[in-house]
Structure 1
Amino acid sequence: MKKWLVIFGLGSLGLLACEEVIEVETPVEDPRLVVDALLRVDTTQTYVPVEIKLSQTAGFFGEIEPVTDVDEIVIIVQELDNGVPSGSTFTRSLAQVDPGSGVYVPDPNFDQDQRLPVSVLVENEVMLTLVITWRGRRYAAQTQYVPSVPIDALGLGDGTLFGEDETELTVRFTDDPTRDNFYVFDFGFGNFLASEDTFYKGQSFEFSYFYDQAFAPGTTLEVAILGADRTFFNYMDLLVEQAEGPQGPFQTPVATVRGNVFDVTGIDNLNNFDNAGTPEVFPLGYFAVVQEFRDQITIE
């Protein structure tokens, strides 16, 4: 459960004795679309804070750049009838309000309100489809709204895992006994943890999370618990596993973490596109719409 930040540097010691320049061939491929579309729902609010971040992969030593030239990006909301999309549908158009940011939000210049009401998000009753058209290709992802449970309590402990410069945070919550639940915890600072209720179904459960640093008094730590379905849980679990691994900058990752966004160019039926069969052009990223609860604690 601990994420380590490993800093790699190239020193100059010993380079003076080198007489031969070594050229390293790095992987080269066309840019891939990267979709960051995790929508966190606060059910006490009227609208979902829709914010879709698009970027593209770069070369081995290149910088990731925002995608600013999208032709169209929309969210389609369909009512479900026994799990099957029915004819009742409405669409929300998004636009890049801050030029050059690659961040797309409900289009404020549209002739109708394009915000997404929280009230339409009913578990098992709506399907949400994100559709993106970029550089002549069409991408899509589908998801359903997933609820979560509140955090019962946060606490601070004095335990350690590997060293003294750590902070133990305890989290307690109560699992919903009416369903098989999956959760994603966001501990801030880019730290996440995926969990499933196999061993604590319907129970009050407490665990410890260790930050790999000591925080100064007065620092506030904020923790979020997100609902997740099995697919999103598996995706986040694999991301966390790879982030915690001892991978160096020249080591091949264990696997390319593919999300639920597909290239659907040339496909007319958006209700059946998960087997698009275009492995050479698949995008990266994930689209999820989940309930979120937050809590915070201050270091004394």
Structure 2
Amino acid sequence: MKSIYKILFSALLLICTSCTDVIDVDVPEGPIKLVIEASLDWEKGTAGNEQTIKLSTSTPFFDKDGNTSVTGAVVQVTNDNDGTVFIFEDQNDGTYDTSSFIPIIGNSYSLEVIYDGDQYAATETLFSVSDISSITQSTEDGDDEVLEVNVSFQDPAGVENYYFLRFQSRNDLLPELFYIKDEFIDGNEAPFYYEKIEDEEENIEEFKPGDIVDIALLGISEDYYNYLQLLVEQFEGAGDPFSPTPVALVGNCINLTDPDNAPYGYFRVTQKVQDSYTFE
């Protein structure tokens, strides 16, 4: 009987040791694409002349090379209403700067990027944004006894408006994003609030006195509103087994040379107001 046990143990040991072989799995990789981060945000009360566009490339998931900056591209933005061209100078670190941009409400702007033999383009219109009426704190709108920051603004009556509202806690890496259509708030004071519910597993802490939140409100186009809607839905659904499979979001930038090789990213031109709030 002992011999049978020894034989069974030896067989089990052989099976376990045989499972230590390294298995190489080929992970499919998509083509390397240009990533365009072109957010020309004009803060109310400033000239808005200094703007930056960032170019980089996508990378395979397991690529350890962190340098994806794109240099040597030709970047310019044109005011389609009067033909003025703004050249963005290569800073040799993936950023392209100008100090001559002129933002004009209601005007259309076109982006052109020439890189690696391909010509990329996008068009956006600059929309105005309402001022922030008030920023306060309370514990009334969300969960009881949880601090929240309250923001409100007056929406113009009879005008179709779209907004992008961003809250960034200085204690957190990622912001809280709201995409807003004035369908149900047209001509009214529009209140919004942001709170954090404590979650030890997600390492989320409630707001407490002394915490600072940076707030930005931007006037955006309908196209960018739709893009944000998809972006936020995918972000909030990450990790949910019942959510749709995330897909690469296609922005408004196109490749005129090779339409099948569209870039990632978005070209937006917005007016914004921003402020910060410190909890008491």
| 1:91-130 to 2 correspondences below 5 Å | 91-97=85-91, 99-100=92-93, 102-106=94-98, 115-118=100-103, 121-123=104-106, 126-130=107-111
- Paired residues in the alignment total 251
Which residue is equivalent to 1:78?
Answer: 80
Q: Cα deviation per residue 1:86-107 (whole Å; 9 max; x = unaligned)? A: xx4121111133x32x11101x
CA contact (8 A) 1:38 1:287 kept: yes
Which residue is equivalent to 2:40?
Answer: 39
* 2:90 partner amino acid: Q
Task: Decide whether aligned partners of structure 1 residues 294 and 47 sit closer, same or farther in structure 2, where only a CA change above 3 A counts.
Answer: closer
TM-score normalised to structure 1 length: 0.75
Displacement, 1:163?
A: 11
Q: Secondary structure at the match of 2:123?
A: strand
Task: Decide whether aligned partners of structure 1 residues 160 and 22 sit closer, same or farther in structure 2, where only a CA change above 3 A counts.
Answer: farther
Task: Decide whether aligned partners of structure 1 residues 71 and 208 sit closer, same or farther in structure 2, where only a CA change above 3 A counts.
Answer: closer
Q: State, as a whole percentage, how many aligned pairs show the same letter.
A: 25
State the distance in 1 between where 2:139 and 2:191 align. 16
> Equivalent of 1:259, from 234, 238, 251?
251
State the distance in 2 between where 1:163 and 1:170 align. 15
| 1:1-300 to 2 correspondences below 5 Å | 19-62=20-63, 65-79=67-81, 88-97=82-91, 99-100=92-93, 102-106=94-98, 115-118=100-103, 121-123=104-106, 126-158=107-139, 167-188=147-168, 189-211=174-196, 212-247=204-239, 253-265=245-257, 278-279=259-260, 281-300=261-280
Displacement, 1:284?
A: 0.7
Q: Cα deviation per residue 1:259-296 (whole Å; 9 max; x = unaligned)? A: 10000128xxxxxxxxxxx23x0101111111101122
Q: Secondary structure at the match of 1:89?
A: coil
State the distance in 1 between where 2:134 and 2:89 align. 39
Displacement, 1:76?
A: 1.1
**Structure 1 residue ranges without an equivalent (≥5):** 1-14, 80-87, 107-113, 267-277
Q: Cα deviation per residue 1:29-55 (whole Å; 9 max; x = unaligned)? A: 221111111111123222333111111
State the distance in 2 between where 1:95 and 1:253 align. 39
**Structure 2 residue ranges without an equivalent (≥5):** 1-15, 169-173, 197-203
CA contact (8 A) 1:39 1:48 kept: no
Q: Cα deviation per residue 1:175-194 (whole Å; 9 max; x = unaligned)? A: 11131111001112432110
CA contact (8 A) 2:43 2:274 kept: no
TM-score normalised to structure 2 length: 0.80
* 1:92 partner amino acid: F
CA contact (8 A) 1:167 1:213 kept: no
Displacement, 1:56?
A: 0.8
State the distance in 2 between where 1:181 and 1:297 align. 25
Displacement, 1:226?
A: 0.4
State the distance in 1 between where 2:224 and 2:236 align. 18
* 1:208 partner amino acid: Y
| Structure number with larger C-alpha Rg | 2
Displacement, 1:195?
A: 1.0
State the distance in 1 between where 2:189 and 2:23 align. 58
Displacement, 1:23?
A: 3.2
Task: Decide whether aligned partners of structure 1 residues 218 and 24 sit closer, same or farther in structure 2, where only a CA change above 3 A counts.
Answer: same
Which residue is equivalent to 1:269?
Answer: none
Q: Secondary structure at the match of 1:68?
A: coil
Q: Secondary structure at the match of 1:241?
A: helix
State the distance in 2 between where 1:293 and 1:254 align. 32
CA contact (8 A) 2:38 2:53 kept: yes
